[in-house]
Amino acid sequence: MDRDGREIVLGIETSCDDTCAAVVAGGTEVLSSVVSSQDPLHARFGGIVPEHASRKHLELIVPVIDQALDTAAVSSASLACIAVTTGPGLVGSLLVGLSTAKALSLAWGIPLVAVNHVEAHAYSLCLRHGNVPEPHLCLTVSGGHTALIMVESPLRTRTVGTTLDDSAGEALDKIAAHLGLGYPGGPALEEWAAKGDPHSVALPRPVIDSHGFDFSFSGLKTAALLEAKRLSSGGGAAWKADLAASLQAAVVDVLVHKTFTAAQHFEARAVGACGGVASNLYLRESLARQAKAEGVQLLLASHEFCTDNAAMVAGLGWHLFREQSFASWQVDARPSWRPGEE
Ligand code: KG4
Ligand code: ZN
């Protein structure tokens, strides 16, 4: 407990390539959030190598947890519980966080709660906005996921749309890698896009008016690759900025259109956006413009908590703790755990 009697939760997140630990009081007050990025390790391969990711997590997990506790000036004796991401994600990566969390829970004699990574992303809105209107429709858009989630409450969520193939972040990352723009691809592509013309290259808006609230980005990726081949024959590099801007606009058009159509359909009281791709300024501005035009309240996760972090895990874990939804010792990693699924 802290001085105000709020339970303190240690969050652990290792679902992909970031080793994260955080200390959060009362579900929303972030006392520390440590993220150790593995970007330099994976950059030379142009993408995440699962085996390298889990080995690096093993090296980093204990120092990262120590740093989170030190920064928060909290000892293990003050912790109410440990919240750990158990899925979805890379199984080897998930197991490092989960095994560490189990060991600490046993050693410190405090309960463990199992958190869904995508639901935790959706919860990141609460870290910035506190009490959010419910139900709201949350666009969770990252490298691993692109989903529309109706949030009735932090622990009651329903997936109403997902991607049929690639996630939005994956499409951006792959094209950025192909164009040699830098790693990680999403932020690099955004920088290039700022120098280009979004109307210069004609790209499709896949399934924008079909397939309900589901997305599809693999066709767009192929179209962008074909355009890259055509444009590169002209020489120079200016076309790369134009293609980056056009691709970013195509992805954002689809995301914004589906999000607001779904919000209206499901009578959401607000629209939210979170996940790594939601730190993209063009997406944030486009969502803000549409929200203003439709008179809808917009909730955006803060930049710090868009990409993977453990504060969102500890925050959502606090709600599980309050409900006494503790995980048993048998709890396992769930690489394909869908948000809202028991
Ligand atoms: O949430 P996150 O850290 O990890 C997953 O759960 O996947 O998201 C990482 C994804 C990557 O695809 C990355 O390229 C993308 O988010 N991303 C961006 C930006 N920053 C990160 N995409 C576009 N613009 C950005 N500024
Ligand atoms: Zn994520």
pLDDT of residue 221: 94
Helix (H, G, I), strand (E, B) or coil at 265: helix
pLDDT of residue 39: 80
State the average pLDDT for the chain: 95
In sequence order, the β-bridge partners of residue 116 are 87
| pLDDT higher than 90, residue 42 | no
Residue 190 Cα: closest atom of ligand 1: 24
317 Cβ inside 6 Å of ligand 1: no
Q: What is the pLDDT of residues 130-157, one digit of tens each?
A: 989 999 999 999 988 999 999 999 999 9
Helix (H, G, I), strand (E, B) or coil at 35: strand
Write down the pTM of the prediction: 0.95
pLDDT of residue 342: 81
144 Cβ inside 6 Å of ligand 1: yes
Residue 121 Cα: closest atom of ligand 1: 1
Confidence of residue 184 (pLDDT cuts 50, 70, 90): confident
Q: For the residues 54-67, what does the mean pLDDT come to?
A: 97
Residue whose CA is closest, atom 11 of ligand 1? 143
Confidence of residue 234 (pLDDT cuts 50, 70, 90): confident
- Residue 182 CB contacts under 8 Å (≥ 6 apart), including other chains: 176, 188, 191
17 Cβ inside 6 Å of ligand 1: no
CA distance 122 to 149: 8
Distance 308 CA to ligand 2 centre (A): 5
Confidence of residue 107 (pLDDT cuts 50, 70, 90): very high
b/e burial code for range 193-225 (CB count within 10 A of at least 16 → b)? beebebeebebeebbbeeeebbbbbeebbebbe
pLDDT of residue 238: 85
33 Cβ inside 6 Å of ligand 1: no
Residues flanking ion ligand 2, Cβ below 5 Å:
142, 308
pLDDT of residue 116: 97
pLDDT of residue 233: 85
Cβ-contact 205, 228 below 8 angstroms: no
14 Cβ inside 6 Å of ligand 1: no
Percent of the residues in the chain that have a pLDDT greater than 90, as a whole number: 86
| pLDDT higher than 80, residue 235 | no
Residue whose CA is closest, atom 10 of ligand 1? 143
pLDDT of residue 48: 81
Confidence of residue 204 (pLDDT cuts 50, 70, 90): very high
